[in-house]
Amino acid sequence: MNVKIDPSWKEHIGAEFGKPYFEQLTSFVRHEYATQTCYPPGSLIFNAYNLCPFDKVKVVIIGQDPYHEPGQAHGLSFSVADGVALPPSLQNIFKEIQADLGKPIPASGDLTRWAKQGVLLLNATLTVRAHQAASHQRHGWESFTDATIHALSEGREHLVFILWGGYARSKASLIDAKKHLILQSVHPSPLSANRGGWFGNHHFSQCNAYLQQWGEAPIEW
């Protein structure tokens, strides 16, 4: 696994690459990609980091692991490549944006435009085996992405961390709530969202209000 990651991240979490867990993770991922169909494509494993350098991050949205069906995953949590049908969770995200901010639901589920505005779309696990959700969990990725969250919490101020669902909400302990805004709700997947607590959470307007309060441009959701 040839780590090609924006230099700003190497400055803040570069020590992770030399740790034993990351060497083991690298061996595991290389073997998986050599012997199995895995997602996202190898060149896009660190897409979230490369589209959103450390000093440009304004918002962090934490997902669990990549989509595991062909053509979906491209290295950004909740996002799918252009031309791919919108997954149910992303449909519900767009519905809440529409209700919260009055914006029409876009045809494309490619969230690269968010990333380029400073939204780090971070999956806790960055790779997955085809058709097998969570197949690359507990092999080391979580240590790396936890280090990412901690570095942002310590090294930056006035970020918005958006935590949807129990797994993402478990990351709140890594974040200094005195320096940052933490927004939490149920997951946007239909199973969770339809039980209540997703629709009407107003996370997108709350996020933008906080950014503007601290002199940052709001996100064009």
Q: Report the amino acid identity of residue 134.
A: A
8 A C-beta contact, residue 150 and residue 12 = no
Contact assessment for residue 220 and residue 113, using Cβ atoms and an 8 Å cutoff: yes
Three-state SS letters, 134-151: CCCCCCCHHHHHHHHHHH
Q: Which of 31, 58, 65, 61 is nearest to 133 (CA)?
A: 65
Residues near 18 by beta carbon (within 8 Å), at least 6 away in sequence: none
6, 55, 65, 110: the active-site residue = 65
Specify whether 65 is catalytic: yes
Peptide bond preceding 40 in cis form (omega within 30 of 0) = yes
The closest of 37, 33, 119 to 76, measured between CA atoms, is 119
Residues marked active site are found at 65
